[in-house]
Amino acid sequence: MRSLVDPIDHLQLHSLLQLSVAGVRLDITQAVLFMWIGCGVLVTMFLLASRQTAVVPRGMRVVLEVLLLFIREDIVKRTMGIHGIRYFPVIATLFFFILVCNWVGLVPLPRSYTATSNISVTAALALFVFVLVQVEGVRIKGIRGYLRGFIPEGVPSMLLPLMVPIEIISLVARPFSLAIRLFANMLAGHILILVFIGMATTGFWLLKAVPLLGAAVMSLFEIFVGLVQAYIFSMLTAIYLSEAVGES
């Protein structure tokens, strides 16, 4: 009962399987487990959808095709143009992975955990995006062209010692912004849900309906928040890639 009453205990990581490789701890925690579950859900959905041979799609395939079309047209093409299609697979993968991880944590399972409410997970995703953007920027523009991007057009040379550090700080701040935005939004919503559940399990029986209703409303709202956060992360990834590769 403690895991329901105490939100902090519910959100803490617990080692489900302790592993050590060359002295480095590589424990399997709830975050790892629920990321695996999310990947399994995604693979299952796409495999089932790909097996449909009907001309008119139905069921899960309709949902997936609508989401893929939305990502391609409203995120990739609108942000990066037709040349951005080569980045469609990675942006779509990020969108679906984050979305499923956000939603899997809402399922009332034992030790249920939202992987994206862990800063380590969101930091790893943000670091992947950061490295991808820099690598693509250098690959497309070359070292000189990439470094030239730190010099804003039309800025007098006397202001460059001030502007260049600002541009570098802005670049370095992006992964922190990506990681913290996703982490904070998912963590806050789940804390509220757990607080409501804790109130329902400890409060006077006549008043239990109020916090239970609050938990139900917050759970529905978290479904929407999970979708929005996956969209924002994918959109910002597309924007950063667009700025890095330019018109290429």
Please spell the DSSP secondary structure of the chain, one letter per residue: -HHHH-HHHHHS--EEE--EETTEE--EEHHHHHHHHHHHHHHHHHHHHHT---SS--THHHHHHHHHHHIIIIIIIHHH-GGGGGGHHHHHHHHHHHHHHHHHTTS--TT---GGGSHHHHHHHHHHHHHHHHHHHHHHHHHHHHHHTTS-TT--GGGHHHHHHHHHHHHHHHHHHHHHHHHHHHHHHHHHHHHHHHHHHHS-GGGTHHHHHHHHHHHHHHHHHHHHHHHHHHHHHHHHHHHHHTT-
Summary mean pLDDT of the chain: 82
Q: Which residues pair with 237 in a beta bridge?
A: none
Which of 6, 11, 191, 196 lies closest to 118 in space, CA to CA? 11
Q: Are 115 and 34 in contact (CB under 8 A)?
A: yes
Exposed (0-12), middle (13-18) or buried (19+): which is 157, by Cβ within 10 Å?
exposed
Query: Token pair of 35, please?
Result: 């990321």
**Crossing angle for the helix pair 119-148 and 88-104, to the nearest 10 degrees:** 160
pLDDT on residue 203: 60
pTM, two decimal places: 0.84
Per-run averaged pLDDT (10 residues), the chain, 248 residues: 49 67 73 88 88 74 89 91 90 95 81 84 94 90 81 71 80 90 87 76 66 80 91 94 76
